[in-house]
Chains A and B, each alone.
Chain A
């Protein structure tokens, strides 16, 4: 079974608009962490935002926010005021348990921002 599912292979958004990238996860461990990374065409993985399973509030980092719905096991990334430079692959990832930093990645969503 997939641990991390990203159902949107590709998304388009107009510049300055907001976009939501979906991510659902599956784990039986009560302690886990959810991450979003951005991968531009150059290949490097850029950390965007983190949500811990015990965090009461949704994480926010600048234009990025994470819509964490624990009961639904979803951790969607919301990018507000999209910019052309946001065009990239976006990966959702999960760390299971608290004794490891190992991440399992979803299949990614390619976001394209158009003027």
Chain B
């Protein structure tokens, strides 16, 4: 089955520093990956769509200069939280499309990484 690897799983950093989170599709290629953010006991909110070889598409209200996304290859997308502040502390989770995995209908299914918990002190 499809596996999406996300690293690091946990990171603690000081306010003002930058943190990079990697998302890799291990056994399939992903031209598109999605980055979500989840606050404690809340739902997943889409931050941006990461497109291989082109600029990411950000959702309304997401600061593109703060959350830098790079999708340099078909198996790797990175999210860099720049000048992190305590309010950026959250669970960040990436996903990639695994083609035709949706049961009988063969729909595309988003396969998720295990998430990265960021704590900014």
Contacts and interface: CB of A to CB of B under 8 A. Distances in A.
B97 interface: yes
Interface residues of A, number: 24
A44 B115 contact: yes
Interface residues of B, number: 28
B58 interface: no
A45 B43 contact: no
Given A102-B46, A106-B43, A42 B103 contact: no
A19 interface: no
Contacts of A107: 42-43
B105 interface: yes
Interface of B: 32, 34, 36, 42-46, 49, 91, 93, 95, 97, 101-105, 107-115, 117
8 contacts: A50-B103, A50-B107, A59-B104, A91-B44, A102-B34, A105-B44, A106-B43, A107-B42
